[in-house]
A and B are shown apart, each in its own frame.
Chain A
Amino acid sequence: MSHRKSKRSFVKESTSKPSSTRKHVICNCNICQGAEVDPRTKASHMKKREISRGLTDRTPERSSEIGTSQGHISNVPMDMDEMEISYDSGDEQYDSRDEQKFNFLTTKTNKPKRKFNINPLVLIERILSDHEDDDQEVEDDDVASIEDDDLEQNVNFDAPESGYGDDDSDIPNINIDQGFAWIVYWILKYQERFRLSDVATNSLIKFIRYLLISHDKNTYSMFPTSLYMARKLFGIGDQIIKYATCPTCCKLYSINNLPTDKPSHCSFQNFPNHPMTNHRSPCGAVITKQVPTNQGIVYRPALIFPIVNIKRQLQRLYNKKGFEESCRKWAARPNNDQELSDIYDGRIWKDFKDQNEDQLFFRHDVSDSNLGIMLNLDWFQPFDNSQHSVGVIYGVICNLPRSERFKTSNTITLAVIPGPSEPKLHKLNHYLAPIIDQFIDLWRGIDISTNETSSKHIRAAIICCACDIPAARKLCGLISARAACHLCEKVANFDDRNQSNFGGFDDMRQWFVKRDADEIRNNAYLWKECNTEDARKNHVSETFVRWSEIYRLPYFDSTKFLIVDPMHCLFLGVAKWIVTRLWIEENRLTTKHLEIMQERANKIKVPSDIGRIPNKIATGDGFSGFTADQWKTFILIYATTITWDLLKDDDRKILSYFVRACNILVCRIISKSGLNEAYQCLLSMVKLVEKQYGQKKITPNMHLCLHICECALDYGPLYSFWCYSFERMNGLLGNMNINII
């Protein structure tokens, strides 16, 4: 009985009585196991099975595996209740401990839970759950408008199976001391070092071969004749997984399943359960292009979405000498409670719970096998002369020490999202699905051989998403930054011209409250059940969230893991806004002032290791084309000296507060008391801006900078998570020369 009670308290109850007039049929689902049930119950069970596959995995064996690993959730509900309580109390305890120390934390919700707020565990339970009669009532209510035969209710983002299984990932054993392998290896390294195109390298290899053969024909007769052969020598093949993707709706298709003799059309149904049948029609866009060959015209996929096999990538890293040792380093560092010097001092690393919740994920005994992955998603332009945005998803292993973490050789490039434009809104989910699939496997753990032992159980979790704001919103399916904050309950104010702002600090106590992660997750799931465009829109504007595949990760908490990137927020956001939009646009600084500033700036001699700012303060509208790093230098070094006497009293205050906050935040090591001060400065600054320039000047960035201190407490100093490191990698990728003839 207790079971039913716990369910009722969470799941929406329906008042309608079950009808008992239907004929019973046999249900083959995992729960009923062939028992006779009501046809509607069967339908709902089958549907749940579909959902649960979507939620956990696609193969039934695996979903049952989840069932056992989380068996206590669905089978012993008492356990669940207890667990939840202990979790909550632990949380509160933690918070009360912290609140005394930090004034910049968003407060914890104390409100009664809303009616649609369902704990994810309960949700899993609801999805996987049993065959009790009251369940049927609920489902009856839900499916009322849908025909019984419509089993697949929700929009489905699953990627097709594409054997990213465990095929041979052996390193070819070449004895380099014999023969010429080292020469080939050097040439390939040479190509990497100078980012030469394949064509250039190919001709170099041919030339070296000629040289060697003319020197000694017998020894070097086997020297590779082309770049292709050289790569073959080292077993470097095409080891990426490719999907064909629909240019319109981004649905993924397995390339092998597409016929080559006729064009293929996209069969993705955006609204499989739209009440009007004509809206259920599939996307229908052509996903192939014609390629003329000798055998006539062949149809090939028009867009390709490549991803890597993360397991193989990890295997590769673990094969490197010293990798495990580097991963263990964090466990050996002394613990300092007062200072934050790396991500390990942050709250996330210290508190991240393992699957069974009673132990930490980042423990010393598994310091080199439980990996924390930081995810970054960003778009960049690989071509100079055409509009073509390519998205890249990087993974960084946080277990590595800071100095090695962001090295190109240690970052995993997970996937490249094809252009020519960024996928809109929920369409990104198609691309995320195969990656999240792999991360779900990694959360359960995989066995790989390493440099030190023959078999090691590796697990990995995404613990942080460091992206700029638009990418972050897409990644987690959140509403635009203009409408609501993703970390607290602040909702934008709209003025008469429908421009949003984040002003209004009098009622700060009410909105500076952390959003409920479970609620967000739950709402994300509910989005999938919206069956019309309007329903989706309404859902998003009410709950600020749409579905994202990332919520399939059981541990993902979008209110913590989705950080505010300090680089974009502080320097490209706030600094630029204050100078260009407040001071220059409101005529506090005139062109003449800008010229004086430039003159003064030229006199300041900075050490060579600090980038000079360009001679562009007075160019154009002022500060034209400053990069994030240049804004940083301008604020931290130049601003006060060169603008002080040009500004009025309040602007001086704004500047001083901001410079002070930045000075504290950009440090390598931040003390926790410093964070408090930085927050105070930022808050005073934002309030002052509102007082001086009005509510409409409070941009999303102005609001988000208030959350930076909390992010620093979660992830350590800004150095450990800001996007400068990733942008550099984008630069490297963008500079790669592909096939210069």
Chain B
Amino acid sequence: MHSSNRHIEPELLKTVQHYSILDELSASYDENQHLSTCLPYIAFKKSVGSLAAHEDFELMKYSEFLSMSKNVMEKAGTGSEPFPGTFMKPMKKDVNLPTEVLALLVEYYCNAYEYTFVTLSNIHTSSEDSIVVLPKVNQFSRLRVGAEVFGSTHSPRYIKSANVISQFVVDDNTTDIYPGQVQFFFEHTIHLPEGPATHSLAFVRWYDAADDRRSRFHCQIDNDNTKICNIELWKKDFFELSRDCIIPIHSILGRFIAGTMKIGKKNPKEYLSVIPINKKIHI
């Protein structure tokens, strides 16, 4: 490939030097009108994939956000807090939520705030100070937080990154991590007495727990008090719809990859193996 008789080493360094000089010159050419039009033609595409992890974002904001999803006990969000990222296309503007989801949403708000909320259809049966939850939402199929993109089943293309895990407080005041599949993300505005508040929420179907602890922690090793379980097994079916199906996007802990695993010798049962991707922060 290099046909000249010259040495490659100085050539390489020279090329690197030339590039760095060009880079330095760029400062003085910032205002050039032609260049500001033409340089984007040859700009690099925004990096995707594992390289995107190197892209810049405010690490500190991000870690604050993450601490919210980690400490559900102390600082669970309501969904109206800002987050370091955006919703992404494809989107549907002003669509009506299905009735059963709307009912869950009303329940969600009742839990999150100390007000009473009702749907439009139930307005005449409820007390006067209750707040109406309108069914209009902006629906999105993707969410970017930091450098990570979450998908949803709403658009089949991104179904592979629709699996998320989230932490919940269970009855006896401990927390547990549950896996689920995001159906869609949505933005919803309610009119609280303090003023309107827009909530960033996700509609998630949760997977059903395995029959017993032994199957769930099948891949666990016990060694002098240290228990290490890198993947958990869950049933492949969804848990029935409940209020927990609507969560603020802030409580999404991360994505996981769904594998399948058969356990048991006599009548093997197939389970979903939950392989968390936590390359961003240690859970």
Contact = CB atoms under 8 A, between A and B. Distances in A.
Given A192-B22, A236-B21, A670 B282 contact: yes
Contacts of B48: 608-609
Nearest to A413: B16
Contact of A663 (B53, B258, B263, B278): B278
Interface string A169-186: 001011011000011011
Given A234-B25, A664-B282, A316 B12 contact: no
A404 B54 CA distance: 9
A539 to B, nearest CB: 32
B171 interface: no
A448 B33 CA distance: 31
A313 B23 CA distance: 12
Contact of A603 (B33, B218, B260): B260
A333 interface: yes
Nearest to A674: B282
B92 interface: no
A629 B50 contact: yes
A185 B221 contact: no
A644 B219 contact: yes
Contact of B10 (A313, A416, A670): A416
Interface string A596-608: 0000100111111
A579 to B, nearest CB: 16
Interface string B179-194: 0000000000000000
Given A304-B10, A416-B9, A684 B223 contact: yes
B277 A383 contact: no
A409 interface: yes
Nearest to A740: B1
B12 A637 contact: no
B15 interface: yes
A603 B259 CA distance: 7
B170 interface: no
Contact of B28 (A171, A402, A403, A404): A171
A607 B22 contact: no
A627 to B, nearest CB: 12
Interface stretch (A117-125, A268-276, A334-342): A334-342
Interface stretch (A155-163, A237-245, A456-464): A237-245
A740 B4 CA distance: 8
Contact of A418 (B9, B14, B32): B9
A403 B54 contact: yes
A616 to B, nearest CB: 19
A611 interface: yes
By CB atoms of chain B within 10 A, which of A189, A606, A740 has the most?
A189
A680 interface: yes
B28 A176 contact: yes
Interface in A95-123: none
A236 B3 contact: no
B280 A667 contact: yes
Interface stretch (B55-63, B75-83, B93-101, B123-131): B55-63
A608 B59 CA distance: 23
A319 B20 CA distance: 11
Interface residues of B, number: 81
A608 B27 contact: no
A182 B29 contact: yes
B230 A342 contact: no
Interface stretch (B35-43, B107-115, B242-250): B35-43
Contacts of B29: 176, 182, 185
B121 interface: no
Contact of B230 (A231, A415, A660, A669): A660
Given A333-B60, A668-B279, A733 B12 contact: yes
Nearest to B263: A645
Contact of B42 (A190, A321, A600): A190
Contacts of A242: 10
A667 B21 contact: no
Contact of B35 (A186, A666, A674): A186
Contacts of A342: 59
Contacts of A307: 13
Nearest to A195: B15
A188 B282 contact: no
Given A605-B160, A607-B160, A739-B2, A231 B257 contact: no
A656 interface: yes
A304 B12 contact: no
A332 to B, nearest CB: 10
Interface string B219-230: 111010010111
B275 interface: yes
B19 A409 contact: yes
A192 B66 CA distance: 39
A402 B278 CA distance: 19
A607 B161 contact: yes
Contacts of A416: 9-10, 12-13
Contacts of A1: none
Q: Closest 7 interchain pairs by CB?
A: A403-B56, A607-B161, A641-B259, A667-B282, A416-B9, A193-B42, A306-B10
13 contacts: A182-B32, A192-B22, A392-B12, A416-B9, A417-B9, A607-B149, A609-B52, A609-B161, A641-B261, A652-B221, A666-B279, A684-B223, A739-B3
Given A185-B29, A644-B219, A738-B15, 19 more contacts: A176-B32, A188-B22, A235-B21, A240-B14, A240-B17, A304-B7, A319-B27, A334-B60, A383-B8, A390-B9, A415-B13, A600-B260, A608-B160, A609-B52, A610-B50, A636-B279, A663-B230, A669-B63, A669-B281
